[in-house]
Amino acid sequence: MKKNVLLSGFIASAMIIFSGCASKMQAPQNSGFFEDYKEFKSGSNLLSDADKLSQYKKVYIEDVTVISAISKEEQTDEQKKLYEEISTYATSSLKEALKFKSSDKKTKDSLVMKSALSASEVHFDDNNWNQLSPLALGITVVSLNAYIDESARLVGEYTLDVKSEVISKSLHILKDTKISLNDDFLTINDLKNSIDAWVNIVASEINKGIK
């Protein structure tokens, strides 16, 4: 029932707003900040030097980047607020979950974490787990069906580096954690479970390298 109400309500308004424009809308062409996903073949986490990771006690965590795949000019006030909330919540959660001491600034003896969250449509019968179908992180004419069908998933990526040398990096498509709409637009509450799941995965990858 919820899906039918959301679908009919959103389409009715979308048809009016986007009449004559929908055919020109394209699915987003980029997601995340890795240029090449082919290196993520058999596993999601690539740790280049665990011993080097264990040498550091501090980490400077940059604010999590939210890749919305919706241009700033087209973002609604609700979407802009959502992206700020996602970044704030995810960044704070990472600082709490990592066993490294959080540094307020980049120093020569601290690791630097850069990370991004985006969305992808998941094809559950696709054996190539690292193949992305980039999706807008928000409800648009193009992304609507994926959210209604609950095939939209959060994608989390990070790099952990020191002096421009990447020590660890990972890509995760959170297939097991659904994004379930509770209204006709996304809210932070729709995404918290996915963000929490990603943070837990990242923490498990990085914390095991701490001695």
Residue 201's domain spans which residues? 2-207
If you average pLDDT over each of 167-171, 197-201, 204-208, which comes out highest?
197-201
pTM listed for this prediction: 0.80
Q: What is the pLDDT of residues 24-45, one digit of tens each?
A: 334 444 455 676 666 665 556 6
Q: What are the residue ranges of helices labelled H in the chain?
A: 2-17, 50-53, 77-97, 144-148, 188-207
Task: Name the domain count of the chain.
Answer: 1
- What is the rounded distance in angstroms from the CA atom of residue 62 to the CA atom of residue 116? 10
Q: Alpha-carbon torsion 172, 177, 178, 181, what sign?
A: negative
Q: What is the pLDDT of residues 123-170, one digit of tens each?
A: 777 666 556 788 889 888 888 889 988 889 999 989 888 877 888 888
Give pLDDT, residue 164: 76
- What is the rounded distance in angstroms from the CA atom of residue 43 to the CA atom of residue 169? 11
How remote is the C-alpha of 87 from its chain's centroid? Answer: 10
Give pLDDT, residue 26: 40
Q: What is the pLDDT of residues 54-106, one digit of tens each?
A: 777 788 999 999 998 888 898 989 999 999 999 999 999 999 998 877 778 78
Give pLDDT, residue 40: 66
**CB count, 10 Å around CB of 188?**
15
